Structure 1
Amino acid sequence: MNARRVAFLLPHMRPGGAERAVLNWCKALDRSRFAPMLMLKRAEGAFLEEVPDDVPVIDLGGARAARLPGRIRTMLRGHGVEIAYSATSAMNLALCAAARGTRTKVVISEHTSPRAYLAQAKWPFVRRAVMRRLLPRADALFVPTEAIGAELSDIVPKLPPATVIPNPVVDRIDFCRPRERTADAPLRLVSAGRLVPAKAFDILIDACALLRDRGLAFLLIIHGEGPEEAPLRARTASLGLSHQVLLAGHAADLSQRLAEADLFVLASRREGFGNVLVEAMAAGTPVLAAASDGPRGLIEDGRTGCLVPVDDAAALAAAIIAIAAAPDAAAARAAAAQETAARYDIAASAKALADSFARL
């Protein structure tokens, strides 16, 4: 039997959680069952360098929202796509509009809180109405957590039942801690994510000013790219932190950077899941996060990591100081967290995805 053609639709391949999940699936899907391809609104982003050679990348030309469904429909038909999986709210709408009248099975997905997205969207009532009209055309809904599925189904009542597919994050876990901090070395903090307001790097930088004022020796390295880079650099400079807070851009070897850290910090205001949090857990690095939806589902506070309130620089700084003062307790939490990370194995996730595709 020939492998079924499955297309993954994304706006781009800039580093992000949904993009990383799709990239890992493209690498791991059983080629005897499925032949994956990428359809991108714009064929751009650092993750393009990691796309396997046997995965075609189709550039949809940056079409505007009104024209995008037509471009997608043409590509679905032209490439004989049997299953199309879309990630992000905008691509879900475009795919559902495009696939009507084709033989393509439509799978929509969400990787972040739909309510939080609507709260920040332009014309949220219009967006909600369009979602309710178009999304029920989907043949399946795949989500990384039950909470995201329940939230979307509450907003769009006629959706198919949600199927939970664990995110594909780690392919191997070294259960030996790769790095120990020397007593006189600065605390090495690492964070990562798109440089956008939702990731709250501004709050993390403010927390670093408090750490300095309280006499803690530290170095924070932030990996990521995005539109907030200039404002964040300006904030760092204005607080006199340019030598202690580094914006290091995209890291192709992020797992190694995480393993070298004393503490991974995720300050996000909203986080549907938190792939990078799982990567840090897998690396054996202690984790601290603001208690948005994703981290609350991944971290058992006090046992596998630490949680603090969202948008609270003082609480973030206090937690970092407490963790630095008790390295043995932090190491014990990090060891327990590796068991959590093991649930998000890439091969197991790809098999779950393939089996769910097959049931369509």
Structure 2
Amino acid sequence: MIRIAFLLPHLRAGGAERVVVNWANALDRADFAPVVMLGRVEGDFLPLLAPDVPVIALGGRRALTRPWRIARALAAHRIDLAYAATSAMNLASLAAPTRVPRIVSEHTPPDAFAREAKWPFARRLATAALHRHAVAIAVPTPAIAQAIRHARVAVIPNPVLADAPAPLPPAKYGRRLVAAGRLVPAKGFDTLIDAMALVPGATLTIHGDGPLRRDLARRIADRQAPVTLAGHTAHLAPALADADLFVSSSRREGFGNVLIEAMAQGTPVLATRAGGPETFIDDGVNGFLADPDDAAALAARIAALLADAPRRHAVRAAARVTAARYTIGTSTAQFAALARAIAG
């Protein structure tokens, strides 16, 4: 039995958090005993964890003491292997004074993340130095793997879908758009709002919450854009299925789980070339791509797709094939194989 700890700052709605919840729930209990350790026990995803997965509070408010708190928690709960998600928790985990093998994850190319950090040069140095203590680095795409210099980089597809996609539903011919994600600068919702102000007759609903909610609401009012902020949505599938087009406007996106969810629902997707989406979306084949941070170009692409329903619908079958690669079962089996190889 391998006791594995998943380390996160919290379980708010997010891609890395969803990966941890799905793996922790799906790991075979004959081989694994998963534990989730959080800096703060909070977040919309907490109720999604299986009842047999303990949640441990690491506690403390000072980031500098977190490595010692992690080391104590790993020892107290007799952990055999630890997996960290998010940049801050990666660094704290690798700095912890412990002999427990640690896997860290990178969901974004390190240089792209470092450019947005307060001290990018220091962040790069710290990441490079601490990566040496990782037994493996898990990434969702080959593109991120190529950007990381580490002896053991494991490309593991994100666990997105509970099952393979159902047969395609009938095509839709409306002008309803949907987007989803944390309301943070990296998601580029400000650009998307500006673009929607230029697209006549269309409406957009953005699902998600975050620190920019008030700023985005003000921007919607100033632009008189046909955009609704729906807040966090626990069950996103019906909203995705009801839309005529899903739009991702990210400036930086390591993968984009919600794109796979939309593709599985039969909803065509338009995503910006933000690092991850272009690794599995072939423009015009299984979805559509646009450049980030260009509201006018994004508006033009949205308007063209809404005006050409046959072109929009032509990508749906190929998108469904793409989505089928990202089931929870497939991803968990690959992660479990990596964990067994390390802990065994």
TM-score (norm 2): 0.96
Asked if residue 341 in structure 1 is aligned to residue 323 in structure 2, the reply is yes
Is the counterpart of residue 130 in structure 1 residue 126 in structure 2?
Answer: yes
For structure 1, the 5+ residue unaligned runs are: 154-158
Deviation at 1:285, TM superposition (A): 0.4
Task: Give the structure 1 partner of residue 61 of structure 2.
Answer: 63
Q: Among residues 295, 307, 310, which one is paired with 1:313 in the alignment?
A: 295
Residue 31 of structure 1 aligns to a residue whose secondary structure is: coil
The residue aligned with 1:156 is: none
DSSP-derived class of the 1:314 partner: helix
Maintained 8 Å contact 2:171/2:313: no
In the alignment, what sits opposite 1:172? 163
Matched, 1:194 2:189: no
Q: Is the 8 A contact 1:177 1:285 kept in 2?
A: no
Query: 2:138 is matched with which residue?
Result: 142
Superposition deviation, residue 329 in structure 1: 2.0
Q: Distance in 2 between matches of 1:26 and 1:66?
A: 27
What's the CA shift for 1:105?
1.3
* Residue of 271, 284, 287 corresponding to 1:289: 271
Q: Per the alignment, in what secondary structure is the counterpart of residue 137 of structure 2?
A: strand
Match of 1:119 in 2: 115
Give structure 2 stretches of 5+ with no counterpart. none
Separation in 2, partners of 1:347, 1:101: 31
* Paired letter, 2:267: T
* Cα offset, 1:62, TM superposition: 4.5
Report the 3-state secondary structure (helix = DSSP H, G, I; strand = E; otherwise coil) of the residue aligned with 2:179: strand
Partner amino acid, structure 2, of 1:147: A
Runs of 4+ residues deviating >2 angstroms: 172-182
Paired positions, count: 342
- The equivalent of 1:268 in structure 2 is 250
Structure 1: distance between partners of 2:139 and 2:165: 28
Q: Does 1:227 align with 2:211?
A: yes
CA distance in 2, matches of 1:293, 1:248: 26
How does the TM-score come out when normalised to structure 1? 0.92
Alpha-carbon distance between aligned partners in 2 of 1:284 and 1:181, rounded to the nearest angstrom:
10
1:114-137 superposed Cα distances (whole Å, 9 cap, x missing partner): 111111111222222222222201
Q: Identity, % of aligned pairs? A: 52
**Residues in 1 aligned to 2:190 and 2:113: alpha-carbon distance in whole angstroms:** 20
Deviation at 1:319, TM superposition (A): 1.1
CA RMSD of aligned residues (A): 1.3
CA drift at 1:179: 5.2
Deviation (angstroms), 1:174: 4.0
Q: Equivalents in 2 of 1:111, 1:245: separation in Å?
A: 29
1:170 aligned counterpart, secondary structure: coil
Post-superposition Cα deviations, 1:210-260, rounded to whole Å, max 9, x if no partner, equal 003xxxx2220000111110000000011123xx21100111111221111
CA distance in 2 between partners of 1:126 and 1:296 (Å): 29
- For the Cα contact (< 8 Å) 1:279–1:341, is it kept in 2? yes
